[in-house]
Chains A and B, each alone.
Chain A
Amino acid sequence: MTTLSPPQAAPKRQQSIFWRRFRRSTPGKVGAVIVALFVLLAVLAPIINPYDPTTDRNYRLNLKPPSVSALWNRDVADTYRDPATGTLNVWAAPFGTDNLGRSVATRVLHGAQLSLKVGVVSTVLALIAGTLLGVLAGYFGGWFDTVVGYLSDVMLAFPSILLAIGFASIFSSDHPPLLIAAMDRLFALHSPQLVTAMLAVSLVQVPVYVRLARAVVLSVREREFVQAAGALGATQSRMIFRHVLPNSLSPLIVQGALSIATATIEVAALGFLGIGAQPPLPEWGTMISDSRQYYVDAPWTMVFPGLAIFLTVLGFNLLGDGLRDVLDPRSTQ
């Protein structure tokens, strides 16, 4: 501490610090790889393996075990052997087939797109709505804060899955409201029930962001640079959107990654209860629900869709942990 180091040529850019720290976080890296893999599968699915769930049927090969096991299991090999040519394709249905003879692997692959879309969209909607309400409540206080806080308290008192079930059962009818039909088209989900489930899961998450954003804004609002901006005559909206909000984003981003994990599980749970996506849509929760009559004899119909949910959720949880390592100032000490 005897000599002052000369001023650096330029302070390190925020982005490079982010990447340097992120590369040191093992959970973050593993999570990023898993998530990237699923995104890649989801994007490439229509190209590597075009699929129409409504016409895909093969009653000769229903509830058959994974075709990979043909390598060591003679019976399975005989099942998958083409009766005309006698050739055997061990990759015909690597995860086995379901009650309609559809390849579980193909359906799991195509389910990736649905689950990722639904998880991300529901979280982003909750993040925007909740953050906006929370920021306004925290910044202005007063009656608005009281009302928003009260409504969040009421919503948080419900077990979230019950609230989601309630919401989803109100709006999932044969004639969906215009908003739901429009979102169905916008995100190409081909299922108004799935959109309803997505909105339900989103709604349940809103109070989480309200509380988080409010707490962060309360602490940021008192910082000198915000007061300086106020002293320099910045308008209310400029103060909120240029100064307070950008400096409150870190915890919200971390929570966002973790919320995608929760949302993915909850949408699948609604599908499992028969309220979300409807058959024949290859949504993972719905596939597990379909498998309930058959899983005693054909466990692969239940194991692989569940594994897909589990891995996706794990990926986002790891990614969230990694982002927290990077963005949470407390963990950097």
Chain B
Amino acid sequence: MGSYLIRRVLRTLLVMIGISVVVFAFVRSIPGDPATALLGERATPEAAAALREQLGLNKPWFINYKDPAHLLDAQFPKYVGQLVQGDLGSGIKSNIPVRDELAARFPATAELAIAALLFALLIGLPTGLLAALRRNSAWDNLATTVSLLGVSMPVFWLGLLLSYFFAVRLGWLPPSARLGNDTVLEPVTGFYVLDALLRGQPAAAWDAVRHLILPAIALGSIPLAIIARITRSSLLEVLGQDYVRTARAKGLTGRAVTLKHALRNALLPVVTVIGLQAGALLGGAVLTETIFSWPGLGSWLYDAISQRDYPVIQGGVIFAALVVSVVNLLVDLSYAVLDPRIQYR
């Protein structure tokens, strides 16, 4: 177990190094010159050159082959050096340190993703369980159909439909942003629902929840469908196994068998799937946040890519990949706790 842990963490670290190389190469390959983008088309060549010098963009990418005495005087080594110190540079446009903006925006995306996942679990798990327990019933067919419709739904279309019906036509819920214009809230953690409760402002908390509902449903639709599907098939598989039959033969009631014996094992693949959804949720956030003007990582990255803001793209994408890798690592490790049958060597 110990050596497995070390190897698994090392693999994650190696993957992180790969990610930083890929992101660096990708970002430098985006056509267009950030100096011109920053100064505008009419800037003098001298001014652009000075800015490139200042930003270090005139140096070679990986190794300074022109000057063998300072081989590491290149963009990549400098970037890795800063990265290790947690310095992600500053946005070219805003001049705000990327780290600060990440810290400000990540809670918004995390709150949205958690809300989406909660929605998916609250609906998806019971749906899948009932479908498996009443196999081939009308409910099972309905659940299977709904989850199939869910995975086939483009997130951005669902978002627009929800916003059209519930915000524009019915006016029940707000169409954009995290809080209404009248709500004043001093952030503590950046999770607005939590913040409002910590500050003792129930009205603000309710406002934050109302703003969360539509984007969370849009973002949670695909995870919901996948969770329902996996729960159903995994519980069906477990219910067919010998130890469940043994438990039944011992005279345990149907409920005790399903809840205590089958469910625990059936939930293992569900945990994996939730882990795998971390990446999908972050990716879906780019679309959902654009539609609902949600001030999180997704809309920020999207803006940064259209404005060629190198440091922001680098920092944001690396951070997103880091989150995905860490979540996957935790999922792998949680297996050891959840399933003692798995042997680690």
Contact = CB atoms under 8 A, between A and B. Distances in A.
Interface stretch (B23-31, B132-140, B206-214): B23-31
A162 B18 contact: no
A78 interface: no
Interface string B146-167: 0011011111110011001000
Contacts of A281: none
Interface residues of A, number: 43
A265 B150 CA distance: 13
Contacts of A158: 19, 22, 279, 317, 320-321, 324
A157 B160 CA distance: 28
Nearest to A262: B151
A153 B11 contact: yes
Interface stretch (A37-45, A89-97, A239-247, A295-303): A295-303
B168 interface: yes
B301 interface: yes
A309 B157 contact: yes
Contacts of B168: 296
B170 interface: no
B151 A302 contact: no
Contact of B149 (A268, A302, A314): A314
Nearest to B27: A166
A296 B11 CA distance: 49
Contacts of B286: 159, 161-162, 165, 273
Given A170-B29, A173-B31, A162 B164 contact: no
A159 B280 contact: yes
A178 to B, nearest CB: 15
A157 B321 contact: yes
A166 B152 contact: no
B84 to A, nearest CB: 18
Nearest to B276: A156
A161 B283 CA distance: 5
Nearest to B168: A296
Contacts of A173: 31
B157 A166 contact: no
A23 interface: no
Interface size class of B (residues with CB under 8 A): 35 or more
Nearest to A166: B26
Contacts of B153: 310, 313
B175 to A, nearest CB: 9
Contacts of A273: 286-287, 290, 302
B14 interface: yes
Interface in A157-210: 157-162, 165-167, 169-170, 173
User: DSSP majority for the A interface?
Assistant: helix
Most-contacted residue by chain A among B15, B23, B30, B157 (CB, 10 A)? B157
A272 interface: yes
A121 B151 CA distance: 21
Interface in A128-161: 150-151, 153-161
A254 interface: no
B301 A162 contact: yes
Interface string A289-318: 001100110010011001001100110011
B320 A162 contact: yes
A152 to B, nearest CB: 10
Interface of B: 11, 14-15, 18-19, 22-23, 26-27, 29-31, 148-149, 151-157, 160-161, 164, 168, 279-280, 282-284, 286-287, 290, 301-302, 305-306, 313, 317, 320-321, 324-325, 328
26 contacts: A150-B14, A155-B22, A157-B321, A157-B325, A158-B321, A159-B280, A159-B286, A161-B284, A161-B287, A166-B27, A166-B30, A166-B305, A169-B305, A169-B306, A173-B31, A261-B152, A272-B287, A288-B156, A288-B157, A291-B160, A292-B160, A302-B164, A306-B161, A310-B152, A310-B154, A310-B157
For the complex of A and B, list the 9 residue pairs with the smallest distance between their C-beta atoms, beginning with the closest: A159-B283, A306-B157, A154-B18, A161-B283, A314-B152, A313-B152, A159-B282, A159-B279, A157-B321
